Each structure stands twice: as structure tokens, then as C-alpha cells.
Amino acid sequence: MPTSATYRQIVAKAELPSELALNNEPHHMQFVNNNTVVVAGGLLSLLTHPQELFFWDVTNPTRPTFIKAENPPTSSSINDIIALPQGGFIVSIMGAMDGTSPGAVGEWDAKLNFVGEYPPVGERPANSNPHGISLNPELDTLVTSDFLDPASSLLPSTSVLFRNTVRIWKPWSQRRISSTVTIPYASGLTDVKFIPHNKDGLAYTSATVKGGMVIFAINTSNSQASQVFNVSQYFSVNAQRDFLFHYPSADGTRLVFTMSFSGLVAYFDIKDPVKPVLLDSLAFGIQSGIHAIDLSDDSKYIAVSGYLLNEDDFGLIHEDGDRSVHIVQIVDDSLAKTDFNVNMNTAVSYPMRPHMIRFFNTRTTTRPM
């Protein structure tokens, strides 16, 4: 809070052991087991390290303690992590062991023990590279979105192999892909999110297609996709460099999305999910890299971070950002910037790349959506 003595200050940090941190980059993270454990992935672990999933005890959030590091046995390139209601978590894993295709979904239990990878080896679609992931426990359904083949973004490759498919896992309890939805002409589906409490099991994904940047509603009950909002009709979009990330409110009536290259945060009324209404937007500037989103429990604040991915001299993707953490306030369905803008290049003694951000919400146990 602004009245706090440590407002806009770093109050704790959780470092990897040096042998795991060298030539690596933190990516997504999540609170699991009722906010007592943080799980994070190292996106570049496959290049030099045997482990790429890291665990910290955050029972005392200002004194995180490293627990262990593990590796999924048949896949690599950890991305998004979902806490499960019963404890434990699932994670989207974009690539095979060597970073090529296909990828998988991994599962760990409440004791942080590895459970399995799905689908089994030999049953994974050849062009499957799960990046976005969302679980609807009420309907026993999982959705994943395929983004890119990780190895194709690394030198000596000359072009990135983007994907255009959403996988529906229904029932999720069987741990099998039941259907695939293809978005024609899409160049990488970075994210997919269920709309909480929607009886049809609608989920949002987005991509640049022939008609511009479009938000699609995926109906997991009939495996159909429909265009529900053309972003390009409202905003200037860089078709090659803007990637969207979505975050619906817990009650399923509002949606926040970010556009990375454009540095945009947009806010929607989605009470009618097939007819989203744009309520407000604000921008942090071109190439600010605004990507990750989290909503406070009371839905009054949005946290965003300014960094997508820069593969430096070893890859093809160079989408850096302002490397800052920003807080946006929601007031009467309008967005307002606050004075919380922390540059992670200068907030600690060495430069940082804040790809993911989470509120520590004391009233939240697990957030499966």
C-alpha cells in the first residue's frame, strides 16, 4: 500500500543456486498449496541444465527457502503453471526433451512429487506445443493453446515455427486430448483462458489472422471457435510483434488483456462473452513489453510486467520491454495508472527480466482458473 514504509521496494528475493541460474531465464511462476509454495520454470534450462522446474517454500513470504529442482522426464521448455484445488499443480511444457516438438502437460501432486506427463509419449500430436493452459474444474475440462516449436526460435534456425491450434481435454480426468480446434492463418496462440462459471465452457484465445488481431471464443462443448472481437478495429496492432495475454475476473464478468509490443492494457465487460464491450484502455508505450497480468482479489488493481522474451545472441526472438512492474487501478470500470512503476533493472543490484508477476493474495487459497 502507498502508506507502507516499504512501498515500491523489494522486500525479499529467491535466488536459484548458481549452478542452475547460469545461462538461464525465469519464466512463469505460480503460488500453489494454499500460497505456501512458489513453483517457477526456467525457460532456457534445456540449453545447459538438467533441471528446469524450481520450488520455494514461501510459508514466510519475505524469507523464501529453496526446496528443490526437477525436470519433466520426456519434455522441456516449461511455460504456464496452474494450481490445483486439491494441492499440486499442472504445467504446460512446450517442447520435447531437445526443445523440438511435441510438448506435453505435466502434473505434480500436493507433496510436490511428479505424477505424469500427458498425453503419453507416442500419443502426442506432432505439432503440439502447449503454451497457454486453463482448467475448468466445474466442467472437468482443460484447454491448452499451441504457440511455437521452441527449437525453431534458436539459432541456427532461420524462422520460427508458429502453431495455430487449441487442444480440448474433456474430460480432463482422463488426461487425454479429446478434440483440436484450428484457427486458420493464426501465427502462434500464446494464451487461452476459460471464462469462469460459463455453462458452455467458453474460453478466450487470440491471434493475428487475415482480418487482423482477433479474440476468439472457443466453445469446449462443441469444439467450435468464433470471432468475438477484432482488436485491430480499435487499436494499432503490430501483426508480427504483438502477442496477447488474457485474464478474466473471478466472477466471469470482466476481462483484462495486454498487448506486448504495443504496451497496451485493455479492459472489457464480458457479461455477454460472445459480445465483449471495451470499457477502457491505457498504454505504457511502444516496445514496453507489457505481458503478464494478475488481478488483486478485490478486482481493484491490475499488476502487469514489461518483458516478453529476448533470446539475445542465441535466438530469433527479441521482444524485450521496459523491464518494469506496473500497478493499474480500476475505478468505476475505468483504468488509471498509479505511481507504482518499479524498474527491475535498477531495483536490485543486477538487471532482471520480469516476465511473470503474481499478487500474494492472502485471501486466495488456490486459483485453478
Summarised one tens digit per residue, pLDDT across range 93-110 is 999 999 999 999 999 999
Q: Is the bond into 50 cis (omega within 30 degrees of 0)?
A: no
> Is residue 44's pLDDT more than 80?
no
- Model-level pTM? 0.95
**CA 368/CA 280 separation, integer angstroms:** 27
Instruction: Give me the pLDDT at residue 368, please.
Output: 36
Write down the mean pLDDT value for the chain.
92
Mean pLDDT (whole number) for 276-304: 95
Instruction: Give me the pLDDT at residue 13, please.
Output: 87
8 CB burial (10 A radius; 0-12, 13-18, 19+): middle
Question: Which tens digits make up the pLDDT trace of 119-157?
Answer: 999 999 999 999 999 999 999 999 999 999 999 999 999
Grid cell for residue 325: 512492474
Grid cell 519475505 is found at: 62
**CA 110/CA 128 separation, integer angstroms:** 27
Instruction: Give me the pLDDT at residue 367, please.
Output: 40
Mean pLDDT (whole number) for 237-265: 95
Question: Which tens digits make up the pLDDT trace of 252-274?
Answer: 999 999 999 999 999 999 999 99
Mean pLDDT (whole number) for 168-189: 97
24 CB burial (10 A radius; 0-12, 13-18, 19+): buried
Of the chain, the percentage scoring pLDDT greater than 70 comes to 96
Instruction: Give me the pLDDT at residue 49, please.
Output: 67
> Is residue 363's pLDDT more than 90?
no
Answer yes or no: are the C-beta atoms of 366 and 85 closer than 8 Å: yes
